[in-house]
A and B are shown apart, each in its own frame.
Chain A
Amino acid sequence: MSLLFDDDPKFTAYANPERLVSTQWLADHLGDEGLAVVESDEDVLLYETGHIPGAVKVDWHLDLNDAVTRDYVDGAGFAKLLGGKGITRDTTVVIYGDKNNWWAAYALWVFALFGHPDVRLLDGGRAKWVAEGREFTTDVPSPAPVDYPVVEREDDGVRAFKEDVLGFLGGQLVDVRSLPEYTGERTHMPDYPDEGTVRGGHIPGAQSVPWARAANEDGTFRSRADLDAIYRQEKGLTPSEPVIAYCRIGERSAHSWFVLQHLLGFPNVRNYDGSWTEWGNSVRVPIARGAEPGDVPAP
């Protein structure tokens, strides 16, 4: 049984308000039967220093990725992970994390690959919970293992591969990296080291919408009206056509995927998780440089 949705007035304008909860809602529902709280951070040790009481950790390196294949876990792996955390297919899952919920959105997106029915993001993530002085604990819960069904991962419709993007040139591509990454001036985030991309630039035709434009200073999502103004009016993106979002390794674009899919209600949004680390290193794949989307090569 799903828990009741958060009827915070801010959320009602979003296309899928049931995908977000506020810190107050979470504080009010901690300990409710049928609720699991999951922390997923970029800093893989942050959970151990303190977390929301009852929250379990999902480590993006060790839990979501296959150890050998450059891919996510399969249905059996996902069932083992979630069952081991005490999460059933009927559990309402609320995910939060550090760095503006990048990795929380990423984890939510992986949950979406398996079609977990009720998974929500904590608006503002870990930082807002901290800023509000809410309770943290270092007690690690040990939920009784439960059965989570083996569900085949369905990448179609949610995830894009390099070949999909090659066939999508000329379509609505959104590059959510910072502007210097988009223009090709640098191949990594400002102040972050280079992760080894051979060339800088963007996928030809991609619009630049840095992920941060979707977030307020406190890490919460901007209002529906603000988001519409950016993605629809300014960038001219239309829900009637499919969209593919990408960044450097797929985590920032999971955040933008969430915005387009759940807050603006675009029905067909895919995240290209190979992103620039794959595209910028791939042989015979076209790129564009500079501040403009650039010419799309003829097929």
Chain B
Amino acid sequence: MTDTSDLTAALRGIVDDFNALTTADRLQLLLEFSTGLPELPERYAAHPELLEGVPECQSPIFLVVEVDGSGPDAPVHLFFSAPAEAPTTRGFAGILYEGLNGLTAADVQAVPNDISDRLGLAEAVSPLRLRGMAGMLGRIKRQVREKSGI
């Protein structure tokens, strides 16, 4: 069993859902996260330069974090931009959005760095791609740290 004791409720649910499925169905679930990723709001869609690129990913992806206020309890909001022709990368962004959006700055900082390894996807996607998801998480955490001041 994949350990989820150190995860927040949303992430625990996602990890449990993935691990309950066969490998092929895990890919389908990843695709659902891909299609569920919200569009960028106008303030970012019109200003892509405000987003940070994640070169660890094999396809272009950009992200930005907003923190309401400062300190450990400040809520965090995530915004991603990833092309439709990169569904795997979008799927990983979708998981992070679903799992982290709205958490407090402290909770985001506490997300384990190996979350990408707990989805049971190692057989189905390349290590490079899983590392890309870890790269997104690393950049999210850094932005949260800078913007929340914790």
Give A contacts to B, CB under 8 Å.
42-46, 48-49, 59, 61-62, 67, 98, 130, 191-193, 195-196
Contacts and interface: CB of A to CB of B under 8 A. Distances in A.
B9 interface: no
A43 B86 contact: yes
A10 B84 CA distance: 32
Given A193-B56, A193-B131, A193-B135, A62 B86 contact: no
Contacts, number: 57
B75 interface: no
17 contacts: A42-B58, A43-B88, A44-B27, A44-B124, A45-B30, A45-B87, A45-B88, A46-B86, A48-B28, A49-B31, A61-B123, A62-B24, A62-B124, A192-B55, A192-B128, A193-B55, A195-B128
A49 B55 CA distance: 23
B27, B28, B84: most-surrounded residue (chain A CB, <10 A): B27
A46 B31 CA distance: 9
A167 B65 CA distance: 53
A42 B132 CA distance: 14
Given A46-B88, A67-B123, A195-B127, 13 more contacts: A43-B85, A43-B89, A44-B125, A45-B31, A45-B91, A46-B86, A48-B28, A61-B125, A62-B124, A98-B85, A130-B85, A192-B58, A193-B56
Is chain B's binding surface mostly helix, strand, loop or mixed? helix
A192 B31 CA distance: 22
A46 B59 CA distance: 12
A61, A130, A196: most-surrounded residue (chain B CB, <10 A): A61
A62 B123 contact: yes
Given A61-B123, A67-B123, A98-B85, A45 B27 contact: yes
Interface residues of B, number: 27
B25 to A, nearest CB: 12
B81 interface: no
A39 to B, nearest CB: 13
A191 B125 contact: no
Contact of B87 (A46, A191, A192): A46
A61 B30 contact: no
A61 B126 contact: yes
Interface in B80-137: 84-89, 91, 123-128, 131-132, 135
Contacts of A196: 127
B34 interface: yes
Contacts of A49: 31, 34, 84-85, 87
Contacts of A193: 55-56, 128, 131-132, 135
Nearest to B91: A45
B144 to A, nearest CB: 22
Contacts of B85: 43, 46, 49, 98, 130
Nearest to A189: B58
